[in-house]
């Protein structure tokens, strides 16, 4: 089946050239990089699907807003414009800008997390997880079981398991849980959305226990669009109305604005509690800057104020979600398995199913990622054993993740349908010789976060 893809709702005014370096050069660059795609230079990549974070294309309105940026140290006009957008869309009482999402997470954790305390969520993103741990806290993931089955077509696979959440709170109690979270959409679980029904249930459970509820809103607009499309009762509501309904359920939010606010840098932290906000401001001044700029330039605040509305535009959202679905459909039509249903910001190829002859300890998703660059100059990111395998501290045996994935992450408003046809055609070509492909052996690996700097040798 071939899906009809809606045309891009924009035309190109400024073009950035990209170049496919010759095949022999790609081979040499791979070798030089120790077969680690993070070590390649951007200029040697033809289509870069490493991340959707800060890689979007800003609009003419955002660039015009940048020229209006007010660089006054305190009380800048840019801050007032951002404040009015944030209040209009999210409706929280207080907010600060931050330089990106993890800065908001750091400040919130500094203010609320004490050693040995637990922070439940559907699934914490890795920076949230790390910021909680950095304060001695313990992040806990309570997503529904369907999330771990790549073929399960559940429409809201980012949902929290409400029974598990209730049982967790009953076991540990309010004193051990300074706040609870949920990530929309669930990046770590395949960009899968959370339903409004589930958000309401989560809010009620936290509320009854007296636990503040904080939303990780990096991709809230994509999540709200999925609610409009998939959840009964939301067809006739605008994405913005759905967003207001979602945030009215929470006591605060953190946001990496590098995703759904379509800026290259920026973040937000919003809360309703006045005392907490005072502490947040003090932390911000210590680490990031004065509360009316929060570690950003005035022009960045203006770009964010405009981008927040553009991220909610429904013609943009329908094109974006269809673009992701189009790439997945083209792969699925050719028998290439991807996580189902297709999420918002990325297509996740199930590499262990595509390359069943490469065992997990020889890194099938790494092998597929290297081959995709070798064949077509395309960069994806391995989310499998290179990233997550670790020795079990009890047994000293290696523990491997259930899935070996190659994530093809889609920057906003950057690539066109013909780029995605090229990506799909390249993967289909690779599939035809999947049986001959070999795995990799690590030649260097640091103990922590090894995927960034590891080096490999082909087997």
Ligand X SMILES: Cc1ncc(COP(=O)(O)O)c(C=O)c1O
Catalytic residue among 44, 52, 70, 216: 216
Minimum distance from CB of 245 to ligand X (Å)?
20
Nearest CA-CA partner of 212 in 270, 261, 264, 167: 270
Measured CA to CA, the distance from residue 49 to residue 24 in angstroms comes to 22
Is residue 124 part of the annotated active site? The answer reads no
Q: Which of 267, 295, 343, 377 binds ligand X (CB under 6 A)?
A: 267
Measured CA to CA, the distance from residue 210 to residue 195 in angstroms comes to 22
Cβ atoms 95, 268 nearer than 8 A: yes
Residue 134: enclosing H or E segment and its boundaries? helix 126-134
Judged by CB under 6 A, the stretch of 123-131, 333-341, 370-378, 387-395 that binds ligand X is 123-131
Judged by CB under 6 A, the stretch of 95-103, 108-116, 199-207, 403-411 that binds ligand X is 95-103
Decide: is 303 part of the binding site for ligand X (CB under 6 A).
no
Torsion of CA 374, 372, 218, 15, to 10 degrees: 60
Q: Which of 48, 129, 161, 216 binds ligand X (CB under 6 A)?
A: 216
Measured CA to CA, the distance from residue 202 to residue 440 in angstroms comes to 43
Cβ atoms 312, 320 nearer than 8 A: no
Cβ atoms 416, 8 nearer than 8 A: yes
Catalytic residue among 259, 325, 328, 434: 259
Decide: is 183 part of the binding site for ligand X (CB under 6 A).
yes
Q: Name the residue with the smallest CB distance to ligand X.
A: 101
Cβ closest to ligand X, residue 247 vs residue 440: 247
Decide: is 340 part of the binding site for ligand X (CB under 6 A).
no
Report the site for ligand X in 246-265 (rule: CB under 6 A).
256, 258
Decide: is 157 part of the binding site for ligand X (CB under 6 A).
no
Report the site for ligand X in 39-58 (rule: CB under 6 A).
53
Cβ atoms 263, 307 nearer than 8 A: yes
Number of residues that bind ligand X (CB under 6 A): 14
Is residue 126 part of the annotated active site? The answer reads yes
Measured CA to CA, the distance from residue 335 to residue 182 in angstroms comes to 33
Catalytic residue among 28, 41, 64, 73: 73
Q: Which of 82, 110, 218, 368 binds ligand X (CB under 6 A)?
A: 218
Burial group, residue 16, by CB count within 10 angstroms (0-12, 13-18, 19+):
exposed
Report the site for ligand X in 365-394 (rule: CB under 6 A).
none
* 3 state DSSP class of 57: coil
Is residue 216 part of the annotated active site? The answer reads yes
Q: Which of 125, 213, 220, 319 binds ligand X (CB under 6 A)?
A: 125
Give the up-direction half-sphere exposure of residue 178: CA atoms within 13 A in the CB hemisphere: 17
Minimum distance from CB of 325 to ligand X (Å)?
20
Measured CA to CA, the distance from residue 223 to residue 199 in angstroms comes to 11
Q: Which residues bind ligand X (CB under 6 A)?
A: 53, 100-102, 125, 127-128, 183, 187, 216, 218, 256, 258, 267
Positions annotated as catalytic residues are 73, 125-126, 216, 218, 259, 451
């Amino acid at each position: 089946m071939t899906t009809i893809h809606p045309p891009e709702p924009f035309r190109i005014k400024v073009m950035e050239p990209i170049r496919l370096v010759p095949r022999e050069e790609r081979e040499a660059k791979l070798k030089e990089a120790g077969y680690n795609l993070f070590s390649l230079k951007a200029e040697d990549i033809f289509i870069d699907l490493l991340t959707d974070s800060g890689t979007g294309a800003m609009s003419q309105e955002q660039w015009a807003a940048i020229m209006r940026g007010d660089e006054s140290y305190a009380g800048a006009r840019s801050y007032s414009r951002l404040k009015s957008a944030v209040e209009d869309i999210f409706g929280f009482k207080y907010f600060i800008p931050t330089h990106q999402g993890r800065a908001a997470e750091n400040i919130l954790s500094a203010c609320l997390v004490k050693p040995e305390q637990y922070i439940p969520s559907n699934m914490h993103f890795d920076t949230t997880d790390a910021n909680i741990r950095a304060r001695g806290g313990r992040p806990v993931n309570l997503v529904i079981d369907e999330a771990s089955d790549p073929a399960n077509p559940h429409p809201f696979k980012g949902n929290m398991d409400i029974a598990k959440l209730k049982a967790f709170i009953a076991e540990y109690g309010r004193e051990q849980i300074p706040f609870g979270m949920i990530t929309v959409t669930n990046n770590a679980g395949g960009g899968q959305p959370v339903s409004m029904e589930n958000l309401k249930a989560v809010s009620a459970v936290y509320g009854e226990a007296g636990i503040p509820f904080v939303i990780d809103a990096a991709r809230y607009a994509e999540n709200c669009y999925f609610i409009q499309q998939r959840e009964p009762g939301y067809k006739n509501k605008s994405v913005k109305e759905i967003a207001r309904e979602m945030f009215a359920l929470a006591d605060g939010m953190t946001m990496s604005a590098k995703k759904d606010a379509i800026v290259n840098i920026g973040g937000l932290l919003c809360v309703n509690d006045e005392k907490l906000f005072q502490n947040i401001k003090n932390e911000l001044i210590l680490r990031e800057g004065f509360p009316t700029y929060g570690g950003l330039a005035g022009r960045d605040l203006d770009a964010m104020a405009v981008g927040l509305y553009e991220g909610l535009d429904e013609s943009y959202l329908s094109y974006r979600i269809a673009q992701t679905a189009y790439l997945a459909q083209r792969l699925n039509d050719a028998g290439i398995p991807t996580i189902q249903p297709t999420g918002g910001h990325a297509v996740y190829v199930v590499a262990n199913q595509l390359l069943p002859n490469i065992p997990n300890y020889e890194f099938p998703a790494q092998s597929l990622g290297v081959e995709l660059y070798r064949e077509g100059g395309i960069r994806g990111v391995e989310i499998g054993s290179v990233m997550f395998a670790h020795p079990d501290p009890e047994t000293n045996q290696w523990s491997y993740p259930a899935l070996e994935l190659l994530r093809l992450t889609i920057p906003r408003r950057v690539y066109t349908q013909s780029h995605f046809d090229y990506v799909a055609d390249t993967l289909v070509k690779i599939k035809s010789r999947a049986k001959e492909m070999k795995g990799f052996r690590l030649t260097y690996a640091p103990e922590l976060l090894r995927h960034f700097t590891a080096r490999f040798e082909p087997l």
